[in-house]
Structure 1
Amino acid sequence: MIVRDFNKIIEEERDRVVSDAEWSSVRMLLAGDGMGFSFHITFLNAGSEHVFEYKNHSESVYCMQGKGSITDLATGETHEIRPGVMYALNEHDRHVLRAEEELAMACVFNPPVTGKEVHRADGSYAAAEELAD
């Protein structure tokens, strides 16, 4: 059984917290935990806009707090993001995520991230085999 405390991670396990100027992500589960997926709590700053395209991963996201929108760049369709809304990038969808208010999101990635990933210029993460030491 794996039990982790979000507050202890942000206080004591800073290697599980990834961030830049506009967002931060607390990696509660990573590939090394052997669950077959990773689980993150991610915060996006109010007023921020992000272009992502997870070419090597599928992602599902559940909004816990805040208000924003997501636009599918292939179709131009925009959906409201608010508490209780979930979206899944089932076709590695290139998208724009906008945070009108600070967003707090629960995110699941498959395959799981290792913790070494950073967003590349195209908004994707490298495949795990590209990160091998």
Structure 2
Amino acid sequence: MKVVRVQDIIGTEREVNGPGWTSRRMLLKKDGMGFSMHETIIPAGAEMDLWYKHHLEAVYCVAGNGSILDKATGETHEITDGTLYALDSHDQHTLRGGTEDMRLICTFNPPVTGQEVHDADGAYLPDDGEA
């Protein structure tokens, strides 16, 4: 059994900051669960173009607000507490923070190792087989 508390992650190697986000990586590939789980904070007003070409992601908003633009359809979906979105087709999207910071619970398949950074397309590189 694994028990992970977000307060124990803050300030460690499992807390990763990027432009427009902070990710607290609660479960990683090396934890052996077959997926990774993160708490991600998107500051109010942030905007990011993302495209997870090598990963599927599901995201559940537990606080704050924002929106997600589906670049394929042009549709914008509002995100508020209680909203889940799933990038089930490697969807290119723009994630925007709203008037409040968003607190998101994210899962990735395949799981991430914890130190990935977004490339020029907004994607993480494919899994190289390393834990």
TM-score (norm 1): 0.94
Aligned residue number for residue 110 of structure 1: 109
Partner of 1:87: 85
Alignment of 1:30-69 (within 5 A): 30-69=28-67
1:48 Cα offset (Å): 0.5
Corresponding letter in the other structure for 2:116: E
The number of aligned residues is 130
Residue equivalent to 1:123: 122
1: distance between equivalents of 2:125 and 2:32? 19
Determine the C-alpha separation between the residues in 2 that align with 1:72 and 1:2: 35
Q: TM-score, normalised by structure 2?
A: 0.95
Q: Which amino acid aligns with 2:47?
A: E
Q: Whose strand proportion is higher, 1 or 2?
A: 2
1:82, 1:41 → 2: CA distance?
15
Mapped pair 1:28 → 2:26: yes
CA distance in 1, matches of 2:90, 2:18: 23
Deviations 1:14-65 (A, max 9, x none): 1101112421000000000000000000001111101110000000000011
Counterpart of 2:4, as a letter, is: R
Specify every segment of 5 or more residues in structure 1 that has no aligned partner in the other structure, as ranges: none
TM superposition shift of 1:8: 1.1
Q: Tell me the residue number matched to 2:5.
A: 5
Letter of the 2:2 partner, please give it.
Answer: I
More helix by share: 1
C-alpha distance in 2, partners of 1:35/1:89?
20
What RMSD, in angstroms, separates the aligned Cα atoms of the two structures? Answer: 1.4
In the TM superposition, what whole-angstrom CA distance separates every residue of 1:71-99 from its partner, at most 9, and x where no partner exists? 10011011110000000000000000110
Question: Equivalent pairs: percent with the same residue?
Answer: 52
* Matches of 2:6 and 2:96, distance apart in 1: 25
The whole-number CA distance in structure 2 between the counterparts of 1:7 and 1:116 is 19
